[in-house]
Amino acid sequence: MVVYKHMFMMLNIAKGIGTATATGILGYAVWSREGTVLNASWTTNFEPSVRWEHNWDRRDPESLVKPLKSNSSEKETKNRENELEKQRPTATRHLLLIRHGQYNLDGKEDSERYLTKLGKKQADYCGKRLKEADIEYTKLISSTMTRAVETAAIIHKHLPQLTWEKEPNLCEGAPIPPEPPIGHWKPEQFQFFQDGPRIETAFRKLFHRAEVEQKKDSYEIVVCHANVIRYFVCRALQFPPEAWLRISLDHASITWVTIRPSGRVSIRRLGDSGFIPAKEVTAS
């Protein structure tokens, strides 16, 4: 066994300044190489408070191929490895979640909750930003609510080549009772039982690793609502879903979620609204 040692220093990033300062904690990290596996010493005996669920989307190849018996032959083992290889995705999926622009809060019905003049400008800024990124987007999906449809329509003007799908399960709602509770926000209790399953259905439809047949990375633009996006983020990162209300998102902001072929999920943007002039940024 070959052992590698590496000196490290713990760094603390100063919030809001972007400078690193040493905490003064020095130590040695030890890696051991056994065969082709390289393990970091500080992880070998570490017990995480919550383990990552690798089969969160029920598409882990290990769960799709029949397991081997204890007395399996070498041929059966090799056949299973070949089957596993056939089930492994190779492409990465990117979901760009867009919150709609500012809308008329005085509206009682959905049709009356249309974008304000500022909301239309915010959507236009977002569309320009998406186009300037020069990404080969796959498609555009939106909620069927007025403010989301209007936002998607403005974005679509910048990316007219995209097919546009409308998904009613993406409509705004109350996904799950938040923790801690918020005193000033008290939806009817039945809303959670009504909206929760619908929003969860939207999550399961959108969030999963790529199909095996998908060979190129995909970039889907999804225009929907703050509660829905916040819940999606918590679910995708396997954070407690009840934490969704602790996140704030600006109007027409971009939240970028990446799903790797392995099923690993990461956030590249969260509520990014830096492309909107500061005086035109709103959240409510």
Residues 132-151: pLDDT tens digits?
Answer: 999 999 999 999 999 999 99
Single-letter amino acid code for the residue at 15: K
Annotated binding-site residue? 147:
yes
Q: Given phi > 0 = left and psi -120 to 50 = alpha, else beta, which region is 282?
A: beta
**Tell me, what's the pLDDT at 36?**
53
Full set of structural domains in the chain with CATH: 1-46 (no CATH), 55-88 (no CATH), 93-280 (3.40.50.1240)
**Tell me, what's the pLDDT at 156?**
98
> What's the distance, CA 91 to chain centroid?
16
Q: Which residues contact 166 (CB under 8 A, 6 or more apart)?
A: 141, 142, 143, 144, 149
Average pLDDT in the chain: 86
Q: In the predicted model, what is the mean pLDDT of residues 83-101?
A: 96
| Pair type for strands 139-142 and 164-166 | parallel
- Whether residue 127 is predicted with pLDDT greater than 90 in this model: the reply is yes
- Whether residue 28 is predicted with pLDDT greater than 60 in this model: the reply is no
Residues of the chain above pLDDT 90, percent: 70
**Tell me, what's the pLDDT at 207?**
98
- Whether residue 110 is predicted with pLDDT greater than 90 in this model: the reply is yes
Each residue's pLDDT tens digit, 3-21: 444 443 433 433 444 444 4
Using DSSP's 3-state secondary structure scheme, residue 220 falls into: strand
DSSP states of 218-261: EEEEEEE-HHHHHHHHHHHTT--GGGGGG----TT-EEEEEE-T
Helix (H) or strand (E) holding 8: strand 2-13
Single-letter amino acid code for the residue at 214: Q
